[in-house]
Each structure stands twice: as structure tokens, then as C-alpha cells.
Amino acid sequence: MAELIAKEANKAFSILKTLSGQERSDALVKIHDGLKVNKDSILKANELDMKSASENNLPASLIKRLDLSKVGKFDAMLQGVLDVANLADPVGQCTLARELDEGLKLYRITSPIGVLLIIFESRPEVIANITALAIKSGNCAILKGGKESYETFKVMSDIVNRTLKEETAVPDAAVQLIQSREEVSGLLSQDKYIDLVIPRGSNALVRNIKSNTKIPVLGHADGICSIYVDSEADISKAARILVDSKTNYPAGCNAVEQLLIHEDIVKDSQKIHTLLKSLIDSKVYLHVTREIKDKVADLDQSFISDVEDDSFDKEYLSFDISVASSSSVESAIKHINEHSSKHTDCIVTENKETAEKFLQGIDSAGVYWNCSTRFADGFRYGFGTEVGISTNKIHARGPVGLEGLMSYHYRMIGDGHVVGDYIGGGGQKAFAHKDIEVNHI
């Protein structure tokens, strides 16, 4: 079954990739219209999901994410589909054009990746969001939602498939929606037909997927972000950045979990007091090393505990932070490169040279100077839409917009040119390798 789904997606991709940008955008408008017309039946299905969620005593935060009837949420979802339809076409952009010899031209052209497997948890509006992104970028998508949104998911997927089939040039198998958990594990082994897995949900979900597939996974399991407060930091700036990074949304992957403080600040009783009191005033629990503990006897001890063995490798996702002393920017860099999850790390300092050392030395997707780690986000970066945040070192890194769903291919156009005529291939001709205008295609 899983193989059939993957094969169908692969076949649909062969058609989808030949459609024009206009045809792909038109399909999104039709999907928008279909969802809009069927708002009532979608919200009715959503009510069923909400009802069984509360009957099953699911957590309030999950129920909230499930709820499509919240004022403005449905319309925002619809608008999101139109917004994606109106983006510039990411397919078919020429990024390199080169004449190899007279009449022999090489072009590098952006193209979709192929078949995406997208696995997400409760939020049903992700169906509309991801469907729009996939079709816009010429990729086929296999979507698996959480079981708690089953009814909503079913109605919405029927509408999407019916619309594609009846009203658009996009094959309906370009977006397939699956329900059972068994199929997911089957799909994770279809590396012949599926090109990229995008999990959107808890760390546990992502970690589980990463360890059960050979298909590349775009995303991150952990967000262990650090802030280093340098000896030359402006302490009120540091406090402001720390409080925002920790408390603005502690469950976010871009929330800070680790705090390193230069020993000169630790030794300065007024500075260390100001810095850590600002966190305690915001109800943050500090997990501190011995050196720090010695200096904070005057602070509310109910917010202070000793670090444990794993404190510096921990993603709390709560009002907790680990705190250690650091002897220099070099030792902070070393500590962070060893312990962080390569998501986003920040230095607070007024010294440009020190900042530059940090910016160059830290091996993470985001390296910040004097601003909150919470800025690590596709919308805040201005990408308009966010596919996920990647801590991979290859392909897309950091917050990923539509371009993370793109690959490229090379086109070569000749007139009977053969390698045997050229040096290295047995002949005497040399290559020209002259860059030409990209619009010459």
C-alpha cells in the first residue's frame, strides 16, 4: 500500500513538473474557492474532532491548536492559500548560463525536488498551507495528519482531491492524504520514490522519524540555543535579550536554554545580580554551577538549583535555564559548539572584535549578536512562509522558506556537439566557458 502511494505520487510528479506556473497558481485559487464554499462542512467535521478530543481529555494546548472555529482562523487559512498562489514562481529560474563553445550552452534551472512526505500533528490548517506550498513549488506531497484531527482532515482532503481532479490541470495524486500510522512506517522506507520528509511537530516525532528512514529529513529534533554574555556586555541589554529569549515563548525551538556568563561579570556582584534577578523576576528557574551559586546568595533561592549532569545538553522548553561561567569568548565558542544543537546562538557584547570572533566561530544555523534568539523564524526573516527550521548542514539550513523545496538541474543545448572533439575527450578543441546573460535561454 505504501509503495503504491509513493509510486502514484512519483507518477503525478512527472505531470506536475511539466505544468506552467500559471496552471499551478490557478489550482491554488480553485482549492481556496473549494475550501471557502465548504466552510460549514469543514467546521462541522472539526467540531467532531474537538468533541472527541475533550472526551479523551487531550491537553488544552492541543485542543486549542485543533480548533478551526476560532475567530479569523479559517479566513487566515484561506488567505494563506491565496498568498502562496501570488508568490513569484520558484520553478524554472535560470541561475547560471554559460557558453561552453560556439552553439553549446549550459544552463542551471531551478526545479522542484519531487515527492515530499509531510507528517504533522494536530493543526488541521497545515493541510491547506502545505498543499499550497507543494503545488506552488511543483512538488507532490503525501500528507499524514495526527489522529486527533481525523474528521477535519478527511473532509478537507476530499475537497482538495475533488477540486484538483475536476477543476485543475494538477493531477489529484499530486496531493495524497493518508491516515494510518502503519502507512507512515511503510512510506519511510520508500526512498526510491520519496525525496524528502518534512516532520512538523514535537521533538519526539522528529527524532523518531530521523531514526527510521534513509530519506533526507528537513527539520530539527532539538533547539538547544545558548546566549553568551561577554565581559564587555551592556548588562541591561543582556537582561532584556535574555528575558525575551527565555520567556517570550518557552516552548519554541528558538527559546534560549543555556546561559554562559564571562567570569568578570560573574565576579561583579552588582552585574551578576542584575542579570539573574531579571530572569527570576520573570519566573525563570536557574540551574547553576557552583561558581555561579556562590555569587547569588542574595537572590530568591526557590528559583535556584544546582546543575545536573545533563543540564548543558538539555532543551527545557519551559521557564528553566542552565547557567555557567566562561573564561573567554573562545571557551564559550568551544562549549557551545560541543553542546548546542546548532540551531541559534547569541553573544551579547559591545566589543565588535569579540562579536566577530563569535560570529565566525559558532557552527550553528543562526549566530546572533545583541538580539533575541526568538528572531529565528521564517516569517521574522521575511520569507513569507516557513516550511520548517533546519539544523542540517546540507541543503537548506535555518528557517526554510519556499526555496527549501527547490532543487535545480542542468540543461545543455548543442547542435550535434560531441566530447570526442575536445581536449580531455580525445580531440583538440578547448572549452570557452564564457558566462552569458541568464535570459539567453
- Residue 189: CB minimum distance to its own copies, A: 12
> Are the C-beta atoms of 230 and 348 separated by less than 8 Å?
yes
The dihedral of CA 166, 406, 188, 212: what is its sign? negative
Q: Which pairs count as long-range contacts for 374-380, CB under 8 Å and 24+ apart, including other chains? A: 374/244, 374/245, 374/248, 374/249, 374/252, 374/254, 374/255, 375/254, 376/225, 376/253, 376/254, 376/343, 376/344, 377/254
Contact between 374 and its own copies by CB under 8 A: the answer reads: yes
72 binding its own copies? (CB under 8 A) = no
Examine residue 319 and tell whether it contacts its own copies (CB under 8 A): no
- The footprint of its own copies on residues 141-170 (CB under 8 A) is none
CB of 250 to its own copies, least distance (A): 12
Nearest to 340, CA basis, from 376, 290, 379? 376
Q: Which stretch binds its own copies (CB under 8 A): 40-48, 69-77, 110-118, 286-294?
A: 110-118
Residues 205-234, interacting with its own copies (CB under 8 A): 210-211, 214, 216, 218, 234
Site for its own copies in 403-422 (CB under 8 A): 407-420, 422
Q: Candidates 424, 428, 437, 439: give the one binding its own copies (CB under 8 A).
A: 424
List of long-range contacts for 32-39, beta carbons under 8 Å, 24+ apart: 32/78, 32/81, 32/82, 32/85, 33/163, 34/159, 34/160, 34/162, 34/163, 34/167, 35/77, 35/78, 35/81, 35/128, 35/156, 35/159, 35/160, 36/78, 38/155, 38/159, 39/74
Nearer to its own copies, 45 or 255 (CB): 255
| Shortest distance (Å) from residue 324 CB to its own copies | 18
Among 248, 274, 305, 351, binds its own copies (CB under 8 A): 248
* Residue 395 touches its own copies, criterion: CB under 8 A: yes
CB of 29 to its own copies, least distance (A): 23
Least separation in angstroms between CB 299 and its own copies: 22
Q: Is 430 in the site for its own copies (CB under 8 A)?
A: no
One residue of 22, 79, 301, 431 binding its own copies per CB under 8 A: 431
